[in-house]
Amino acid sequence: MIRIKLNSPFDLDNTVTCGQIFRFFKKEDGSYDIILKDRIINVLKKEEELFVTSNIDKDLETVVRDYFDLDNNYEDIYNEIISKDDKIDEAAKFSAGLKMIHQDPFETIIEYIISANNGVPQIANSLNNIAEKFGKRVAFNGNYYYLFPRYKDLKEVSVEEYRNCKVGFRDKYIKGMVDKLNKEEIKLEEFYEMSTKESLNKLMENAGIGPKVASCILLFAYKKYDVFPVDTWVKKVMKQNYQIEGEEKIRKFAKETYGKYSGIAIQYLFNYGRNKEK
DNA sequence: CCACAGGACGGCT
DNA sequence: AGCCGTCCTGTG
């Protein structure tokens, strides 16, 4: 067990449950079991401190700080965003402590390919099916969990086997992506170096990845915060609050209004819309 | 049983 | 270039 003192606001509950990740499990004591790339962690927040256990202790603090983006300066982000308008000011204030989770690129790519035209419970279900069939089983905290497989583990997996995991018509997209990675036609690291525009275009060359999915991948795996994933929810909000319609107009507005942190602004808006009534 | 929700794609203007 | 039917699964 390690303890991590928090020196800036961190809202563990909203960060975990706001739709960034799908494979987490809330425990009775209010903590979360979360499946990361190569390990399972249990995180409990008490006062201004995190209590973390894992099946792998090596580099645990570093892994957790990176995963929850604890060392990023959210003051700067906040100040950049709130100057824009009242609505986002309110949403950003409300969302203080919401962090951008830094996820594994491969898992994120598959996650968001599956997310296309799909609901949150179904996405989680498909991901768990894939992990249970092809991922490594790990005993932790009185349960068995399955790590999400690496693309090398999926080399021989057929389209039919993905279909059996209830991914529907996205089966061939997953297979296509896994094949390209194994043939090294795409390298996961290359997107870190590229500009946002370049990496968006490069991602969208792949079947099953359009503007929304590509934006989510860059936002959640590559820390590129100047993307703006437009889904049906965003379209609704933009129409209601700003009378703006059409994907291109929305993206243009977001870029001009929220600038280099537009991807975080949208998380704040979503979090605000989802939780303010409670 | 049917209607619907949710992005990408491809075929049509 | 933009519009719209289709793809699959789970839920109401």
Instruction: For residue A119, give the nucleotide whose C1' atom is nearest its CA.
Output: B6
In percent, how much of chain A has pLDDT > 90? 78
d(CA A177, CA A12): 32
Instruction: For residue A121, give the nucleotide whose C1' atom is nearest its CA.
Output: C10
- For residue range A36-69, what is the model confidence (pLDDT) as tens digits? 999 999 999 999 999 999 999 999 999 999 999 9
Mean local confidence (pLDDT), A126-141:
96
A181, burial (CB in 10 Å: exposed 0-12, middle 13-18, buried 19+): buried
> Measured in angstroms, what separates residue A207's CA from nucleotide B8's C1'?
8
Mean confidence (pLDDT) of chain A: 94
DSSP code string of A194-217: S-HHHHHHHHHTSTT--HHHHHHH
- What nucleotides of chain B have any atom within 7 angstroms of a protein Cβ? 5-10
What pTM value is reported for the model? 0.95
d(CA A106, CA A134): 14
pLDDT confidence band for A148 (50 / 70 / 90): very high
d(CA A39, CA A57): 9
Q: What stretches of A48-122 adopt beta strand conformation (E)?
A: 49-54
pLDDT confidence band for A277 (50 / 70 / 90): low
**Helical axes A105-115 vs A211-221, angle rounded to 10°:** 150
Q: Calculate the CA dihedral of residues A84, A87, A88, A94 and round it to 10 degrees.
A: 140
Mean local confidence (pLDDT), A129-147:
96
Type of residue numbered A101: I
Mean local confidence (pLDDT), A81-105:
89
Residue A278 pLDDT more than 90?
A: no
Instruction: For residue A116, give the nucleotide whose C1' atom is nearest its CA.
Output: B7
Q: Check residue A82 and give its pLDDT.
A: 76
CB neighbours of A241 closer than 8 A, spacing ≥ 6? A87
CB neighbours of A118 closer than 8 A, spacing ≥ 6? A126, A168, A170
Q: Check residue A220 and give its pLDDT.
A: 97
As beta bridge partners, residue A34 has A24, A41
> Measured in angstroms, what separates residue A245's CA from nucleotide C5's C1'?
22
> Measured in angstroms, what separates residue A169's CA from nucleotide C7's C1'?
6
Q: Show residues, CB within 7 A, near nucleic chain B.
A: A 115-119, 122, 168-169, 173, 204, 206-214, 231-233
- What nucleotides of chain C have any atom within 7 angstroms of a protein Cβ? 2, 7-11
Residue A117 pLDDT more than 90?
A: yes
Q: Check residue A246 and give its pLDDT.
A: 87
> Measured in angstroms, what separates residue A270's CA from nucleotide C8's C1'?
27
Mean local confidence (pLDDT), A96-103:
96
- For residue range A226-264, what is the model confidence (pLDDT) as tens digits? 999 999 999 988 888 888 888 889 998 888 888 899 999
